[in-house]
């Protein structure tokens, strides 16, 4: 292995891969067999964190940043004048194994620019995974990108070696896709997704009958959407996320605030702020849909196409639906408790547990770790003190905002600052 | 009233469980359970030295586990926190656990139970961190070697993880603070007590103990670490929250920052 050459390639190709936010190494259950190397732990491990605070758990690289496409949002687009490089298959294998043996990573995340055509690229990605699994007896985590437009046979083969497969749809709306990536068709993205989903379903049902059925993409599929590049509303994003969760049984949909990388009149200019708060609100909504029993139409609909940036989506839903509150913590059901702003899944479980022993009052709730600054207006407990006033939503929102702080608040506040 | 007794055990977990067994068996009014050598005898209590007995320890272990699987791991984790006076707390915890009908539902408003749960949580967090922050370096003899300096004694907890994962390489993880390590010899994990004079920090200066390629891979890893960060989203506070500074000296990607 030529160290200097590999080093240069690694710098170029890791740099290009960093805009992929997925770094999950959880959800798989591959065991170490025959004294091989590695296993995939169910919970996943973050081995380090970058200076922007994101986790590093996989070696995330592109096989190459040569690309035949010219998608406006992408740093490796054809018309962008950057250094190009390509790894040899053996180089990726060596890097992965040596990093893994030193406990730097949980596995490999391999993506690629598209060279020649989709199938040719997909074949190369599969070749890396196959070599790792079969020649190196590697049981760590492998995340492969499904190349848009790859054939069904290749997608089938990819799932046999990879733990997770993902296609990034990037632009949530079909019209946005036409504008920013005119050479790609929407079907190119969904075809490999559908194939992988069908295979996962098939392998699962076979596994029920024959226990020795090999694994097929045990950590499922994920996808990613860029936020703030094509002028889409939060409703567009969340509705299409819900669609992908339901239709393709996605494990995760990631939202990535668009980081401007080059000048293009179709996109925000270089230097414009990364929409981190918006990204955060979208993730909060995503969690509400997956773990709190909300349906997307309750949070975003015709009247409310965008999320409230000032308060989190659950509080904002509660302020619009004051007739559900207050809720009595000592008697309410779990799904009702989950809808109280300031109560998370963990707090709710603790409340349910603690309720067996005694009636809870504010002190108990505080000790459990409930965010009382929000929750106090929406619930009753074993105490004479609760919010008796019939407050309207705006007043309540103002009171909550006044008694809390947020690191993004200066970005959307209309109040002029006295200092700085 | 029965005179209270201070039990002295040898510092091992089995020793502690034996002490619990003896206390239950002989219905001793326990004043304190203390580690050998750290003992302070009370003014009004007798002392009794406990000799570790694996069978007795096992009975206590099984007794707790039959009550609740969660409880046995909490007891073990909390014990490894090495907090002063944890033995007494644990003894209280076990007594309370044994009194319950169903060990699954413990009342966390009880200060002992809450305290043990919090200690166990802290140790569990440290265990998970160590599974992430161990950085092996390949020595000339083909052993992957790593230094760690965990807040709690987590080596016994992480050995299974590393044994399962690195089944085809010899490795040694050495706890700098407690001066012992675990070594995997391609068959099983054994405890080794060493007193390494030269503590192999991730120095920028090269050491002859390690193979040359080791430093190449460290350089590659450092480069990767740098190029994967997005400059326009930098957030140092979040970074140190996830990777606390006390671990930096053993992380090859942070060695320049130390």
A252 and A383 part of one domain: no
A237 and A371 part of one domain: no
Give the strand pairing for B170-175 and B180-184. antiparallel
A161 and A122 part of one domain: yes
- A13 domain residue, yes or no: yes
A283 and A351 part of one domain: no
Chain B CB contacts of A354 under 8 Å are 107-109
Task: State which residue of chain B sits closest to A23, comparing Cα positions.
Answer: B228
CA distance A278 to A309: 7
Q: Which of A177, A117, A173, A171 is nearest to A147 (CA)?
A: A117
Task: State which residue of chain A sits closest to B212, comparing Cα positions.
Answer: A3
Task: Please give the pLDDT value at position A23.
Answer: 81
Low-confidence ranges of chain B (pLDDT < 50): none
- A300 domain residue, yes or no: no
Asked if the ipTM is above 0.95, the reply is no
- Per-domain residue ranges for chain B? 4-126, 134-254
Contact flag B242-A41 (C-beta cutoff 8 Å)? no
| C-beta of residue A343 within 8 angstroms of C-beta of residue A369 | no
CA distance A128 to A92: 7
Q: Which of A200, A256, A248, A189 is nearest to A228 (CA)?
A: A256
Considering only the beta carbons, identify the residue of B108, B166, B232 that sits closest to A274: B232
Contact flag B230-A11 (C-beta cutoff 8 Å)? no
How close is the nearest chain A Cα to the Cα of B146, in Å? 9
A289 and A323 part of one domain: no
The structure tokens listed for A41 are 């732990």
Chain A CB contacts of B173 under 8 Å are none
Q: Fill in the DSSP letter of residue A134.
A: I
A278 and A330 part of one domain: no
Chain A CB contacts of B210 under 8 Å are none
The structure tokens listed for A137 are 């007896």
CA distance B125 to B116: 14
| C-beta of residue A167 within 8 angstroms of C-beta of residue A189 | yes
Ramachandran region, residue A150 (left: φ > 0; alpha: ψ -120 to 50; beta: rest):
beta
- A391 domain residue, yes or no: yes
Domain count, chain A: 2
A163 and A32 part of one domain: yes
A265 and A320 part of one domain: no
Q: Which of A230, A217, A237 is nearest to A177 (CA)?
A: A230
- A71 domain residue, yes or no: yes
Burial of A261-274, coded b for 16+ CB within 10 Å and e otherwise, reads: beebeebbeeeeeb
Task: State which residue of chain A sits closest to B104, comparing Cα positions.
Answer: A353
Task: Please give the pLDDT value at position B41.
Answer: 62
Best of B133, B137, B228, B248 to mutate (most A CBs within 10 Å, chain A): B228
Residue B241 sits at the chain A interface (C-beta within 8 Å): yes
Last residue of a domain, one of A242, A262, A295: A295
Q: Fill in the DSSP letter of residue B182.
A: E
Chain B CB contacts of A15 under 8 Å are 227-228
A283 and A320 part of one domain: no
Residue B134 sits at the chain A interface (C-beta within 8 Å): yes
Task: State which residue of chain B sits closest to A106, comparing Cα positions.
Answer: B132
- A379 domain residue, yes or no: yes
- A343 domain residue, yes or no: yes
C-alpha distance across the termini of chain A, in Å: 53
| C-beta of residue A145 within 8 angstroms of C-beta of residue A97 | no
DSSP B129-176: HHHHH---EEBTTSEEEEEE--SS--HHHHHHHHHHHBTTSEEEEEET
- A32 domain residue, yes or no: yes
A28 and A82 part of one domain: yes
CA distance A147 to A124: 11
Chain A CB contacts of B241 under 8 Å are 53
CATH number of the domain at A242, please: 3.20.20.70
Chain B CB contacts of A41 under 8 Å are 161
Contact flag A38-B223 (C-beta cutoff 8 Å)? no
Residue B227 sits at the chain A interface (C-beta within 8 Å): yes
CA distance A268 to A229: 7
A291 by Cβ neighbours in 10 Å (0-12 / 13-18 / 19+) ranks as exposed
> Before A326, cis peptide (omega within 30)?
yes
CA distance A318 to A393: 9
Burial of B57-89, coded b for 16+ CB within 10 Å and e otherwise, reads: bebbbebbeebbeebbbbbbbbbbbeeeebbbb
- Unique residue bearing structure tokens 């000296």: B249
The structure tokens listed for A272 are 């414009």
Q: For residue A91, what are the domain limits?
A: 3-295
CA distance A144 to B118: 39
**Torsion sign (Cα): A129, A131, A133, A139:** negative
State the 10-residue block means of pLDDT for chain A, 420 residues long: 89 89 84 86 88 91 92 88 93 95 94 91 95 93 93 94 92 87 88 92 92 89 90 91 94 90 82 85 95 94 91 94 91 95 93 91 89 90 81 87 77 60
Q: What would the pLDDT profile of A347-366 be if each residue is shown by its tens digit?
A: 999 999 999 898 999 998 99
Residues B35, B40, B45, B47, Cα dihedral to 10°: 40
- A304 domain residue, yes or no: no
| C-beta of residue B205 within 8 angstroms of C-beta of residue B198 | no
**Spatial CB neighbours of A251, under 8 Å, sequence gap ≥ 6:** A24, A27, A164, A219, A220, A221, A222
Residues 160-179 of B with CB under 8 A from A: 161, 164-169
Q: Please report, for residues A224, A296, B116, the alpha-carbon distance to residue B60 in angstroms, rounded to integers and kept in the order given.
A: 51, 51, 18
The structure tokens listed for A232 are 């889409």
Q: Which of A130, A287, A92, A367 is nearest to B224 (CA)?
A: A92
Residues 30-59 of B with CB under 8 A from A: none
Q: Please report, for residues A36, A41, A63, A156, A225, the alpha-carbon distance to residue A219 in angstroms, rounded to integers and kept in the order given.
A: 20, 11, 22, 15, 19
Residues A84, A88, A93, A95, Cα dihedral to 10°: -50
Residue B136 sits at the chain A interface (C-beta within 8 Å): yes
Task: Please give the pLDDT value at position A418.
Answer: 63
């Amino acid at each position: 292995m030529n160290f200097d050459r590999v080093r240069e390639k690694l710098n170029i190709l890791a740099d290009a891969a960093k805009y992929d936010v997925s770094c999950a190494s959880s959800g798989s259950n591959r065991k170490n067999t025959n004294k091989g190397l590695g296993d995939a732990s169910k919970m996943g491990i973050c081995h380090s964190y970058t200076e922007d605070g994101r986790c590093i758990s996989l070696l995330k690289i592109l096989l190459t940043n040569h690309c035949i496409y010219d998608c406006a949002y992408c740093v490796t687009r054809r018309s962008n004048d950057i250094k190009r490089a390509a790894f040899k298959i053996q180089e990726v294998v060596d890097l992965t194994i040596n990093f893994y043996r030193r406990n730097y990573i949980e596995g490999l995340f391999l993506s690629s620019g598209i060279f020649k055509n989709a199938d040719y690229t997909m074949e190369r990605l599969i070749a890396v995974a196959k070599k790792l699994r079969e020649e190196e007896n590697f049981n760590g985590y492998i995340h492969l990108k499904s190349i848009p437009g790859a054939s069904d046979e290749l997608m089938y083969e990819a799932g046999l070696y990879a733990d997770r497969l993902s296609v990034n749809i990037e632009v949530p709306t079909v019209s946005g896709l036409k504008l920013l990536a005119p050479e790609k068709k929407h079907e190119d993205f969904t075809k490999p997704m559908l194939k992988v989903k069908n295979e996962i379903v098939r392998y699962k049902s076979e596994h029920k009958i024959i226990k020795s059925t090999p694994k097929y993409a045990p950590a499922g599929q994920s996808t990613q959407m860029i936020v703030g590049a094509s002028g889409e509303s939060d409703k567009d994003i969340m509705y299409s996320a819900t669609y992908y969760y339901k239709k393709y049984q996605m494990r995760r949909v990631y939202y990535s605030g668009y980081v401007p990388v080059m000048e293009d009149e179709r996109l925000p200019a270089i230097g414009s702020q990364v929409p981190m708060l918006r990204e955060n609100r979208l993730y909060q909504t995503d969690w509400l849909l997956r773990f709190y029993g909300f349906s997307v139409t309750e949070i975003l609909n015709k009247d409310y196409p965008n999320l409230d940036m000032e308060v989190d989506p659950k509080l904002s839903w509660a302020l619009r639906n004051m007739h559900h509150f207050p809720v009595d913590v000592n008697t309410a059901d779990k799904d009702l408790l989950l809808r109280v702003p300031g109560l998370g899944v963990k707090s709710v479980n603790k409340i349910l547990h603690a309720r067996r022993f005694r009636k809870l009052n504010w002190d108990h709730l505080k000790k459990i770790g409930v965010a009382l600054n929000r929750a106090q207006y929406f619930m009753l407990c074993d105490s004479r003190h609760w919010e008796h006033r019939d407050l309207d939503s705006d007043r309540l929102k103002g009171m909550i905002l006044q008694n809390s702080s947020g690191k993004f608040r200066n970005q959307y506040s209309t109040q002029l600052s006295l200092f700085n | 009233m029965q005179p209270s007794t201070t039990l002295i055990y040898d510092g091992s977990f089995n020793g502690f469980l034996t002490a619990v067994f003896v206390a239950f068996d002989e219905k001793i009014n326990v004043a304190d359970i203390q580690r050998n050598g750290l003992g302070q005898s009370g003014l009004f209590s007798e002392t009794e030295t406990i000799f570790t007995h694996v069978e007795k320890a096992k009975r206590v272990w099984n007794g707790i586990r039959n009550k609740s699987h969660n409880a046995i791991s909490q007891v073990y984790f909390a014990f490894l926190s090495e907090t002063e006076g944890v033995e007494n707390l644990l003894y209280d915890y076990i007594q309370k656990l044994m009194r319950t009908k169903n060990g699954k539902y413990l009342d966390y408003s009880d200060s002992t139970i809450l305290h043990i749960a919090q200690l166990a949580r802290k140790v569990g967090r440290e265990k998970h961190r160590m599974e992430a922050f161990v950085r092996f370096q390949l020595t000339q003899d083909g052993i992957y070697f790593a230094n760690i300096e965990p807040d709690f004694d987590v080596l016994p907890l992480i050995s299974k993880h590393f044994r399962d994962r690195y089944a085809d390489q010899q490795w040694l993880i050495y706890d700098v603070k407690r001066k012992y390590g675990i070594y995997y010899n391609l068959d099983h994990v054994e405890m080794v007590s060493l007193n390494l004079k030269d503590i192999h920090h991730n120095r920028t200066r090269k050491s002859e103990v390690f193979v040359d390629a080791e430093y190449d891979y460290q350089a590659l890893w450092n480069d990767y670490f740098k190029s994967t960060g997005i400059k326009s989203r930098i957030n140092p506070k979040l970074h140190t929250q996830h990777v606390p500074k006390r671990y930096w000296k053993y992380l090859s990607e942070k060695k320049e920052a130390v």
